[in-house]
Structure 1
Amino acid sequence: MCAMKRLGICLLNISEGRNAQVVEAVATAAVSTAREVPASDADLGLHCKSTVLNIFSDYDYNRSVLTIAAPLHHLSDSVYNACREAYGRIDLGDQHGVHPRLGAVDLLPIYPLSEDVSVGECGVIAKGIASNLARDIPGTSFFLFGSSDVPKNIDLVARRKQVGWFLGKHQMDYGSLQHDLGSSPSPRYGLTGAGGSLYVTNYNVSIATGDVSIGHEIAGRIRSTTPGGLPGVRVMAFAHEGTVEIACNVENVPMENAKDAAHSEQAESTISTGTRPHDSGVCPQQDTYHSVRYTTPSKIEARVKELASAHGVGLVGTSIIGFTPQEAQELAVHALQTGQVDFWRTRVPGAMM
């Protein structure tokens, strides 16, 4: 099957993981017009305009992630339609779960999926979707991160700290939250993060203890900002179904040269877009191509196992939320060229970050 150009992907995070009908309605909305392929797309080999590759939902977290992939010129409509459905069905004021969140649609990230798409383009698309939603759904509100946050380009973790995301929604004065687009945040819709960055893999490791302090200690040791931590790993620890879950966002990290890839014991290399980051907390810019690396799930699992064993604790299980970068690209091409708009129905449900 031939390669496909100009692909983007969104890992849409919504604050609903207990009502499967609501989650599936959001997924269905994302591909509601996907079978209407214009003649101008014929040379791309498209048999659908977009696809939902995967849905991961978690009951305790009351949160779902929908993996939406499409050629860049179709991605905006698909993500917009999914968000519109989610805002119509999810009232954040009625939502309860142990995972931090500030929005009914909590996160709207756009990533490059093929090497001919830049992080800058993804930022423009994410900001455009947010602007259209703010215009069409009164009461919705957005903060921008990464390449949507021009000219500062502050990354997601830093922006989440600024808006109080890690505090969760409990006892929250929504009207006091900083926002960049839309109305003043409200308890009904909350505050949604929208932005562009390099691809992020979500990977979780559960350890056999109810002691969250052990999870926090392990998270601190593997975090990328800690000396000896794992490249690109942003991590939190949560009590989850009687265990503790080490929940990792694994970012693609741009490399300076091929030597970095050859000597990295903790990462695999792939190709994406974006330039070298400037400072901690600042996202890659746009329009140039670089090799990137990401820490593999096997490396994370091995490191967590080593640290947990020092506390006499074993592993319970692991889960990848969606796909590695290569898997996402390969499956997106397959689904788009075979017309599988609901590719997620072929996937086995699992726990999520």
Structure 2
Amino acid sequence: MASPRLGFRLAVCLLNVSEARKQDVVETIAKAALCDKPGQKKTQTTVLNIFSDYDYNRSVLTLAGPIETLDIAESLSHDVPDCSMFYFGYADQPHKRSLVQRRKELNWYKRSNLNVNDIKPDVGTTVSPRYGLTGIGASPYVMNCNVTVDTQDLNIGQLIASAVRGANPGGLRGIQAMAFPHEGTVEIACNVESFKDKPPMPMTEESTKYISYYIEGEEHFYFAPISIERQIKKLAASYGVKTVGTALVGFTPEHCKCLAEQAIREGYGAFWRKRKTITM
């Protein structure tokens, strides 16, 4: 996203790491994102948010800065020995395969039968048991919207996730969804992808479900979180269960840009501390 207030193109990185229970480790990762290799502070980079899921032992860090400073793949390949990576989205040139497609190709969804020796990463020769496999992609803004369904029946959650998935007939455009057990309920975790094709206009019921924003003058759209919640609530009711909450992991594109501009103008790298809240 272009930021006239800052005078450069702004990029956002959602960094997913397999650690949540050791807060000191997660914060060390966040601090590392704010420094270059010699340890010098990056004045135009900020960590806006840290969300940690203790049940699944994972954290999502929201980083923002000039697009030129977020060349993660190149940095990792030089600085971390034995690392292996695969590309997706605009980083996967010339194919631009989606994250779901790449995961299917790498048998990510069948990890119980996964043989790491069969994986051919884009960077690195073999997958190290210590470092695993890292996915690195580029795309218009992606938001995470999770809706909790008041049931312990994972099958119901999987049926709902399939129904809202954009790739399926009748699904919601730009939505990728999976169902997970979570604290005695089932969580429908949705990746909300942006797209450029204009939805039906003017002011039809369908068009009001979308929100638009601009990237360097080009209009992009995404499915409104409130509409995702309503559709999942409707589907849940058809199975005799209710929804009990909706949460965003991070921010909407507009809110993210606003906070990033504020944090970078103020030179506040550890912005997640200043906010004193963890946005899910």
> Which residue number corresponds to residue 226 of structure 2?
298
2:91–2:138 CA contact under 8 A, matched in 1: yes
> Which residue number corresponds to residue 20 of structure 2?
17
| 2: CA distance, partners of 1:2 / 1:135 | 33
> Which residue number corresponds to residue 5 of structure 2?
3
> Which residue number corresponds to residue 190 of structure 1?
132
> Which residue number corresponds to residue 272 of structure 2?
344
1:255–1:261 CA contact under 8 A, matched in 2: no
> Which residue number corresponds to residue 222 of structure 1?
164
1:61-210 to structure 2, matched below 5 A, reads 61-73=56-68, 75-76=69-70, 125=71, 129-168=72-111, 170=112, 172-210=114-152
| 1: CA distance, partners of 2:124 / 2:161 | 35
Matched to 1:27, the amino acid is A
Of 187, 211, 215, the residue aligned with 1:272 is 215
> Which residue number corresponds to residue 174 of structure 2?
232
Shift of residue 334, structure 1, vs aligned partner: 0.5
> Which residue number corresponds to residue 308 of structure 1?
236
Identity value in percent: 44
1:208–1:244 CA contact under 8 A, matched in 2: yes
1:207–1:245 CA contact under 8 A, matched in 2: yes
1:225-281 deviations in Å (ceiling 9; x for gaps): 122211100000011111000000000011248x657551321111126xxxxxxxx
Shift of residue 348, structure 1, vs aligned partner: 2.2
1:206–1:315 CA contact under 8 A, matched in 2: yes
Residue 216 of structure 1: SS of its match in structure 2? helix
Shift of residue 35, structure 1, vs aligned partner: 7.9
2:250–2:279 CA contact under 8 A, matched in 1: no
Alignment RMSD: 2.2
Shift of residue 350, structure 1, vs aligned partner: 5.5
1:55–1:67 CA contact under 8 A, matched in 2: yes
| 2: CA distance, partners of 1:332 / 1:157 | 28
| 2: CA distance, partners of 1:233 / 1:272 | 20
> Which residue number corresponds to residue 329 of structure 1?
257
Shift of residue 290, structure 1, vs aligned partner: 2.8
Unaligned runs of 5+ in 1: 38-47, 77-124, 274-288
| 2: CA distance, partners of 1:269 / 1:65 | 24
| 1: CA distance, partners of 2:26 / 2:201 | 41
Matched to 2:81, the amino acid is P
1:15-54 to structure 2, matched below 5 A, reads 15-32=18-35, 36=41, 48-54=43-49
Count of aligned pairs between the two proteins: 272
| 1: CA distance, partners of 2:146 / 2:166 | 16
| Residue 253 in structure 1 maps to residue 209 in structure 2 | no
Residue 301 of structure 1: SS of its match in structure 2? helix
1:146–1:197 CA contact under 8 A, matched in 2: yes
1:267–1:293 CA contact under 8 A, matched in 2: yes
| 1: CA distance, partners of 2:271 / 2:176 | 28
Matched to 2:90, the amino acid is S
Unaligned runs of 5+ in 2: none
Shift of residue 134, structure 1, vs aligned partner: 2.0
